[in-house]
Amino acid sequence: MFDESINEKLFLDQLSGIYNKDFFFVMGENLLTIAKRYNRKTSLIYVFIENFDEIVNSDGKDFAEDQIEFFCHSLRSILRKSDFLSRLSHNSFGIHVTETDSFGSIMLIKRIENFFRSSENNPDGKELCFKLNIVHSTAPDEGKTFADLIIKAIEKNEKKRKSLALNAKIMNSSFWELIDSIIEKKYLPHSEINSSYPPLQKTFQFHFSSFFIDQVQKSVLQDIILNKDRNGMLFIGIKNFSNPEIGVHNYHALKNIKTISYIMGLKGKHPLPMPYIIPVYLRDEKISFYRFIFFLCDKYAYGLIGREENKNYFTGFHSSDFYFIEHIISKLQQYYFY
């Protein structure tokens, strides 16, 4: 990356050994220009240390700086060589991830969070004391300039910080616990915590037959087919692949669309082929007790969920809360990435 005549130290943060803020902005604009030229997505991951000042006050500056070194060294070990990590301030970092859309960014965020939550990743017994707040922004969906991406990421970070307790509850929930929370409306919406924020999720209940669910799924798939350029993810939960019940027959219509479709369920004895849909064979028997359909994109999510115990009752939701959407996506993705 550097010519031998250039003093690389000018671009490094002396404490952490990673690139500094000035170089991050220069490289960010260059990488964004390349992404525009080849019509590719690129994303910014923004990492904010929530309790940095508290640690300095309670444990001293030397301990905090030692934690910074440990954090940067550990973080670099899980990033790709092409991921560009920089220190933006005393308690914030930026990662420029090239050729990565919003969904890929969410997976990286969850990988970082899980890495630092697990003691198995620290064989020397060293523990990270930082509380991390991690968000992302993606070009061109959330900004056409690098400054736009930074502003959007900081805005998301501020929103996320105002509901840390609620976010922690969602983070610590399993996929099925999150699904049950939607059905049972367990979590308070943001509007009850701070009136300036939209609800975490708007939920409403229906009473109709399984045949109607087939029609809903068919309508959703038709909408996806008609809007070929909409970048999203569709998840349909079924009991097993021997009897998929997804309400679509023309699979070839899904060939040239940007939305990726997944079917999740038990494999069954004789799974039926479904071209242009990615099968996710689960070993988790709990899928037998649920039926659901989710559509998720960068800006919103909606879905219908039903449980076996209440055959004719389904709960619908629509949310534009980015953090809630990220958690649904990440908990669904864990089934086919791991």
| Angle made by CA atoms 156, 158, 159, in degrees to the nearest 5 | 65
pLDDT of 189 reads: 42
- Once rounded to an integer, what is the mean pLDDT over residues 297-308? 80
pLDDT of 103 reads: 80
CATH superfamily of 8-161: Reverse transcriptase/Diguanylate cyclase domain (3.30.70.270)
Q: Which of 4-13, 163-172, 212-221 reaches the highest mean pLDDT? A: 212-221
Q: What is the dihedral of CA 166, 172, 175, 181, to 10 degrees?
A: -40
Domain ranges of the chain: 8-161, 173-337
CATH topology agreement for domains 8-161 and 173-337: no
Query: CA dist 43 to 38, 82, 209, Å?
Result: 15, 12, 42
Q: What is the pLDDT of residues 50-88, one digit of tens each?
A: 999 999 999 999 999 999 999 998 998 889 888 989 999
- How far apart are the C-alpha atoms of 202 and 219, rounded to whole Å? 21
pLDDT of 5 reads: 43
Which amino acid is located at 266 in the chain?
L
Count of Cβ atoms closer than 10 Å to residue 12 Cβ? 16
What are 36's strand-pairing partners?
none
- Could you write out the DSSP letters of every residue in 90-149? TTEEEEEEET--HHHHHHHHHHHHHHHH-GGG-TT-------EEEEEEEETTT-SSHHHH
Q: Which residue in 149, 170, 50 sits closest to 105, CA to CA?
A: 149
Q: Residue 45: which pLDDT band, with cuts at 50, 70 and 90?
A: very high
CB contact set of 326 (below 8 Å; sequence gap of 6+): 106, 109
Q: Model's pTM, two decimal places?
A: 0.73
On average, the pLDDT of the chain sits at 78
CB contact set of 225 (below 8 Å; sequence gap of 6+): 253, 254, 257
Helix axes 146-161, 164-171, angle to 10 degrees: 90
- Could you write out the DSSP letters of every residue in 41-95? -EEEEEEEETTHHHHHHHH-HHHHHHHHHHHHHHHHHHS-TT-EEEEEETTEEEE
CB distance 146 to 21 below 8 Å: no
pLDDT of 335 reads: 63
- Better pLDDT: 206 or 158: 158
- Better pLDDT: 39 or 242: 39
CATH label, 173-337, candidates 3.30.70, 2.60.40, 3.30.870, 3.40.50: 3.30.870
- How far apart are the C-alpha atoms of 296 and 307, rounded to whole Å? 21
Count of Cβ atoms closer than 10 Å to residue 91 Cβ? 19
Q: Which residue in 162, 75, 174 sits closest to 116, CA to CA?
A: 75
